[in-house]
Chains A and B, each alone.
Chain A
Amino acid sequence: MTTELEKREKQEVSSTAAEQMNHSGPAYSPDVDIYSSDEEVVFAVDLPGVGKGDVSIQIDETNTLVIKAKNSQKEPEGIVIRQYQIGDYYRAFQLSDDYDKDKVSAKLENGCLEITVPKKEAAKPKKIEIKA
């Protein structure tokens, strides 16, 4: 018997963040994985119910990466068990100056968003040749 894979309840984001969505109803904080290498940083964001064209990704002048998404999941009638809430998503991350915000790329597949932010050339580690 394997141990059960856990999933925590959806976390509602603060009302100020939700207000920025220009949308009524609560917004939720999506689960995010972040991976980094010498070259880039990758964000994997779970956005179930979100289709292409319903996501906005912005990096402002203070290097804050803001992810907003509109949930277009249609809910049937007659709820009897609710384990998850349906609502829009909002999440923000602070990036360091080492990243090149003009070269951000993203793809959305099966409700999972993958954002890649490359490092600036100057911030990448340099390999130093040792001369004989």
Chain B
Amino acid sequence: MMWDIDLWREMDRLRREMDGLFANYGRVSGATTYPLINVYDDKDAVTVTAELPGLSKEQVNITFTDGVMTISGKVEPLARAKNMTVVRQERAEGEFEKTVRIPTKVQQDKINASFSNGVLTIRLPKAEEAKPKTIAIEAK
């Protein structure tokens, strides 16, 4: 059956694609380490987003050293719940630190971060030499 072969080929292609992706972005601290992040890579910039609900921008620190970006801070317990009985606790609480290695050269002075509805977005513009180039073919 045709689709059989195509399916395997497709799976193999996907697997190789995934291996390639994670080889570059290999050094992210664990997939279960708070906060969870997504990383996006387009031709102009690498964008990292993190879900940090309940935190304000003053409670989050971002550093970038030698191609490694670190997001750290502390999730404070709910102040008004101090004298209340805990019935259920699922939300993360305490100090956190998460690192992501950025595999492309970025313009360090142009990194910018914004915080909206508990989602942190860090945009790291690529250095000119890291951007893809289109090479024109000259006619002879």
Contact = CB atoms under 8 A, between A and B. Distances in A.
Interface residues of B, number: 52
Given A32-B90, A49-B118, A51-B117, A42 B36 contact: no
Chain A interface residue count: which class?
35 or more
Contacts of A81: 21-22, 25, 28, 37-39, 100
B94 A5 contact: yes
Interface stretch (B7-15, B61-69, B73-81): B73-81
B75 A5 contact: yes
B38 A35 contact: no
Closest 9 CB pairs of A and B: A111-B118, A112-B54, A35-B84, A7-B34, A48-B51, A84-B36, A81-B39, A34-B87, A111-B53
29 contacts: A2-B97, A4-B30, A5-B34, A5-B95, A7-B36, A9-B36, A10-B36, A32-B90, A34-B87, A37-B84, A37-B85, A42-B84, A51-B116, A72-B117, A73-B119, A76-B42, A76-B49, A77-B40, A78-B42, A79-B39, A81-B21, A83-B36, A83-B37, A83-B38, A84-B38, A84-B51, A110-B52, A110-B53, A110-B56
